[in-house]
Amino acid sequence: MELKIGTVSLHYELSGEGADSLLFLHGWGGSCASFAPAVRDFASDKRIVNLDFPGFGQSSEPDVPWTVADYRDAVLTLLDTLKITKTDIVAHSFGGRVALMINAERPSLVRRQILTGCAGLTDPDAASKGGAAHALSRLYDNRLSRRLLGEKGVEKIQNVLRSHFGSEDYKNASPLMRETFKRVLAQDLRYCLPEISAPTLLVWGANDTATPLWIGREMEKSISDAALVVFENSGHFAYLEQYARFITIAKNFLNS
């Protein structure tokens, strides 16, 4: 499905049969495919909204460089169009930045949320470092992921990660998205943390080098109702590297 927001064509997918809504927000360079396993496994519990951020997947690029606030406004416009007034959120990395700003702008919208490898307090160079490569190697060797998702499922996720993350991400971006990338990294979102009232579960990889564990610890301290779960021997894509553990925790938290 497509929603026109100004000059942007926003691609989104609706699925699931539950009464409660669940919004997925992917990381920088990702797409709807980034949460494919979780979308599948929540389909019987939730009404799912899964989108491609402008500039990624099947959504068009904006005509000017965007900030995190622009992405937040696009997501809020989509939710308003769908008449969703309350939703759970699962967000990874850059998607977490957008979730933080949604919480600060409209706290009544968020029922519960899971932020995994959430960005927002990062070093400006963190997104172009080697965390994604480490995560890819771990996912490739994770036999449990292969049993759960099948060879084709793992291959699909690997292709998403290879295509969209790592040191080449900035180099391969269009000039406009490079400028957007710089603006996103320049925004310090610490001010959002005390504004968050929704119960928040923070899921982190102990070996995350893109969004190091200290960020998760800082968020746990600064968000009023937050708990941090650390996945040992995992990196920036901990939710995929230990998917069985992640989906069990996520379902228990969001369905309680």
How would residue 172 be classed by pLDDT, with cut points 50, 70 and 90?
A: confident
Query: Could you read off the pLDDT of 219-245 as tens digits, one per residue?
Result: 999 999 999 999 999 999 999 999 999
Please state, rounded to an integer, the average pLDDT across all residues of the chain.
Answer: 88
Percent of the chain clearing pLDDT 90 (strictly above): 77
Query: Could you read off the pLDDT of 177-204 as tens digits, one per residue?
Result: 999 998 998 899 999 999 999 999 999 9
Whether the per-residue pLDDT at 44 is higher than 70: the answer is yes
- Choices 2.40.50.100, 3.10.20.30, 3.40.50.1820, 2.70.98.10: CATH for 2-254: 3.40.50.1820
Strands 46-51 and 8-15: antiparallel
Whether the per-residue pLDDT at 131 is higher than 80: the answer is no
Whether the per-residue pLDDT at 165 is higher than 50: the answer is no
Percent of the chain clearing pLDDT 70 (strictly above): 81
Q: What is the mean pLDDT of residues 115-128?
A: 73
Predicted confidence at residue 145, as pLDDT, reads 53
Predicted confidence at residue 134, as pLDDT, reads 42
How would residue 174 be classed by pLDDT, with cut points 50, 70 and 90?
A: very high
Annotated domain spans of the chain: 2-254
Predicted confidence at residue 123, as pLDDT, reads 59
**C-alpha distances in Å from residue 134, one per residue of 153, 210, 247:** 19, 10, 21
